[in-house]
Structure 1
Amino acid sequence: MSAASLSERMNGALTAEAKHLKESAGSIILIDFIFGMFMFAVGTPLFGVPFGVVVTVGLLVHASTRKAHYGDPRLNLFIAIAVLAVAYAAINSVVFGISTVDEAFRRAIRIFIVILLALFIGDKRIDARSLIFGIATGMMFNAAAYYAGIAPDAYTGFLTGWFGDKNVSGLWYAFIGLLFFTYLDDKKKKILAFALFSVLLWETGSRTSLAGYMFALLWLTFGKKIGLFAKFVLATFIVWAVDYLTENYAQVGVFANRDGSDLLRARIDEATLEKVAQTPWHGQGFGQAYVLIEGNNSHWLFHNSFYTLFVEGGWAWIFSTLLITLLATVLWKQQHQKGKERIIIAEAAIVLLAICSWRLGEVILTIPWAIAVGIGLSYLVKPEDAIAFYKEQNT
């Protein structure tokens, strides 16, 4: 396939996806937009809690006063699996693991907040489009403030701002950039948003996020019309490709000066594998996904979310978490009006997050994960059925 035909197909897929999303979405909800503007500040603490988490809690409190736009049995199944899994992992952390009650409780609360965000987006108490537009606006302000010297500069030469970490920044600029220009329907705005967020993503210097971004675009382009087996083959190819690029081209060109950071990452990865090998089948408990490097007294969190899940809760925890992720975004089919078209933006977003989960820190069970899962859940019911349910509940 030529570059021109690939570009044409990608543009067609993005345009169609934006049309479907717009037709099944209403106007911008101002309060969701405003909360979204401040949600990105996950690297800025407020009373010891990330500011973005505080904002998320505020949005959840407000959203709890709204009625659900529809009911679907699969939402109840999602809730049941998620709640039982978190309860199991928290109790297991204290009874069989080495976590303190305080560690288990704080971690469980953080996870419940994230799951509740996914659920409220899923039943449309929170409007995903308004939230994403708000987050994108806040992130553009973050970039402007960074280059104006107002926002923090944690990694000189890399766009961080109030994210506090270049890889966290890269994850968010890739993830929100993907969703933001996909939700736009105007071609000129779409091109502008794509160009802007691609540049900002590049400025973060996060190689893994760049890889996730590229492969998510490919999934969005080709993933709509292929079956489950073909998707498995495509996912296997992506895993191989990312591994190949990481091993052979991680220090090429502008990334040639990463010897120091890559050496530290290699030491963290080695210590992580040792801890994983020492972990029993039931895990070590919430808050235990860290390592200590010889000669460095700092705690270093794992750079792999899958290992984090296993060490914190064992096989049952990683299986249940990945199960609800795949059910919401891949296995349960999101539908457009009359079921004629499928919406796969949640799938593409999860591809991006899965790649980032492999090489970055905590990605699964974070705010971006909740948004992707929530979008998947929100399109389980056809729009006309959702409207009928909402009218019935409000008469």
Structure 2
Amino acid sequence: MTSIWAPSVVESRAGEARDGRLAQARRSALGVASDTRLFEFFVGVGLTFSRFILGSNLPVEIPLVIVTVGVAAFRRPTTDIHRVRLPVTALMTAILIWLVAVSVHTGQPWTQRSFRILLLFVFALCLAQGRIHWKSIVAGGAAGLVFVNAPSYYLHLTSDNYPGFLTGWLGDKNVSGMFYAIFTVLGLCLFKRVWLKTTYFVVMFGLLWLTGSRTSIAGCLLALVWWYLRPRAHLWLRIVAASVGVWVLVTVENRYSQVGEFSDRTGTDWYRHQIELATTAKLAITPWFGAGLNTGWVQLSPTRQALFHNSYALLRVEGGWPLVVAMLMLVVVIAFGIFGITKDVSAEQRAIEAGIVVILVCAWKLGEVFFTLPCLFLVGAAIGERYGEPVKDAVPVLLRVDSSVSQGSDV
């Protein structure tokens, strides 16, 4: 006989069902993969400080990538990218060799910058092979931008080189804008429920707006359009939408870039225009093979220099047309998969593609974008998601010994 104090079977099952629903709700609220790795999460948080300078001239990005690659070296790959491993590795190697060769030919210093590019390429390959869990980095990066970078800025714990614009530990408002724009769309893959995606996007886009980076805001909106159309439209419609988006972007930039919230940018835009004119003049005298590393700057006056504000022009002046073609092949064709014809796409790949849209837009009006940690992070994650297959566990080989042999036989 069942005790009156003991729960009935029905109550027990109801409690189990309720606990299950609560557990599912908690997982949905967290919105991250159940196997989130703590190390990668803190690497993502560390991205918030990646532009902070240690000592004389060492950005946090360098030791952060070195430590991450070092940990990855002791992990087995979880993703098999045999279909593209050789061409991707060959393309990255060719890019690096070409840049070094051109720099040596033109007498430009190349050791420090080429080492940084090599680190970023290795980092991308580690991500592609699944040695590093990229979604955990996304979760950490989003948490760092929301709960570390923004509060640090508004509590006056960081420098304020652009008063009134959210920069934080990233230092520059355009760099900050690019980071927030990328993680605004990239973080959408962390959530399953629509209301969580919407809440996350609103919060992140609000912080992006506070950076005041017009190019990053435009890139984020175009990326959101791509993210929405990706599983709903075939290739031709996506290309048409992308073309219309580029036209709209150029039109808005030319006609409406100084209205409303951005009406006080006259001086900034004049300065940017002077850089663009000087960049065009420098490109006109640059040979087809480029001028070598560290040449992406212009002389505005006898006492004033400025870095390029166009990453496509930066590729052209440092490595010539071969570098432009090679990097667009790596980012647009291989990672972004511009010629993909299927609408079937995972939530992860969809978010990564949206992040690459941000990269391609920001490269138009910002400084160096392609040889940066966010760009190569997206390239590595995209290769793993698009071409990767789970690594199969090794099947143990069992030796079978015939009993007649083991016992011997009579002759």
Q: Provide the TM-score with structure 1 as the length reference.
A: 0.86
Q: Which runs of 5+ in 2 are unaligned?
A: 1-27, 398-411
Structure 2 counterpart of 1:360: 366
> Which protein has the larger Cα radius of gyration, Structure 1 or Structure 2?
2
Q: C-alpha displacement at 1:393, in angstroms?
A: 8.6
Q: Which moved more, 1:48-57 or 1:274-283?
A: 48-57
| 1:1-395 equivalent positions in 2, closer than 5 A | 27-47=35-55, 48-71=57-80, 72-95=82-105, 97-99=106-108, 103-140=109-146, 141-294=148-301, 297-326=303-332, 327-331=334-338, 343-381=349-387, 385-386=389-390, 389-392=391-394
Cα 1:381–1:358 change in 2 (3 A) is closer
What is the Cα-based RMSD across aligned positions, in Å?
2.4
Cα 1:340–1:49 change in 2 (3 A) is closer
Cα 1:340–1:63 change in 2 (3 A) is closer
Q: C-alpha displacement at 1:115, in angstroms?
A: 1.4
Cα 1:394–1:27 change in 2 (3 A) is farther
Structure 2 counterpart of 1:10: none
Q: C-alpha displacement at 1:237, in angstroms?
A: 1.7
Q: C-alpha displacement at 1:335, in angstroms?
A: 9.3
Percent identity among equivalent residues?
A: 31
Distance 1:305 1:84 in 2: 19
Q: Is the 8 A contact 2:235 2:342 kept in 1?
A: no
Q: C-alpha displacement at 1:85, in angstroms?
A: 1.6
Distance 1:128 1:33 in 2: 9
Amino acid at match of 2:88: F
Where 1:293 maps in the other structure, the secondary structure is: strand
Distance 1:273 1:161 in 2: 32
Instruction: Decide which structure has greater helix share.
Output: 1
Distance 2:199 2:90 in 1: 42
Where 1:379 maps in the other structure, the secondary structure is: helix
Q: Is the 8 A contact 1:334 1:376 kept in 2?
A: no
Question: Deviation digits for residues 92-142 of structure 1, max 9, x if unmatched?
Answer: 2111x241xxx2121111111121221111111111110011111111211
Question: Deviation digits for residues 54-78 of structure 1, max 9, x if unmatched?
Answer: 2122111111111111322202211
Distance 2:392 2:48 in 1: 30
Structure 1 counterpart of 2:25: none
Q: Is the 8 A contact 1:75 1:377 kept in 2?
A: no
Q: Which runs of 5+ in 1 are unaligned?
A: 1-18
Q: C-alpha displacement at 1:188, in angstroms?
A: 3.9
Question: Deviation digits for residues 331-362 of structure 1, max 9, x if unmatched?
Answer: 575999xx786832222211111111001111
Question: Deviation digits for residues 282-328 of structure 1, max 9, x if unmatched?
Answer: 00001100011126x24311111000001000011111111011212
Amino acid at match of 2:222: F
Amino acid at match of 2:60: F
Where 2:288 maps in the other structure, the secondary structure is: coil
Where 2:394 maps in the other structure, the secondary structure is: helix
Where 1:68 maps in the other structure, the secondary structure is: coil
Q: Which moved more, 1:34-43 or 1:204-213?
A: 34-43
Distance 1:28 1:312 in 2: 39
Where 1:73 maps in the other structure, the secondary structure is: coil
Cα 1:44–1:335 change in 2 (3 A) is farther
Q: C-alpha displacement at 1:368, in angstroms?
A: 1.1
Alignment size in residue pairs: 363
Q: Is the 8 A contact 1:132 1:180 kept in 2?
A: yes
Q: Provide the TM-score with structure 2 as the length reference.
A: 0.83
Structure 2 counterpart of 1:5: none
Question: Deviation digits for residues 159-180 of structure 1, max 9, x if unmatched?
Answer: 0111110000000011012111
Structure 1 counterpart of 2:407: none
Distance 1:76 1:333 in 2: 20
Amino acid at match of 2:40: D
Where 2:49 maps in the other structure, the secondary structure is: coil
Q: Is the 8 A contact 1:98 1:284 kept in 2?
A: no
Distance 2:297 2:237 in 1: 36
Q: Which moved more, 1:260-269 or 1:114-123?
A: 114-123
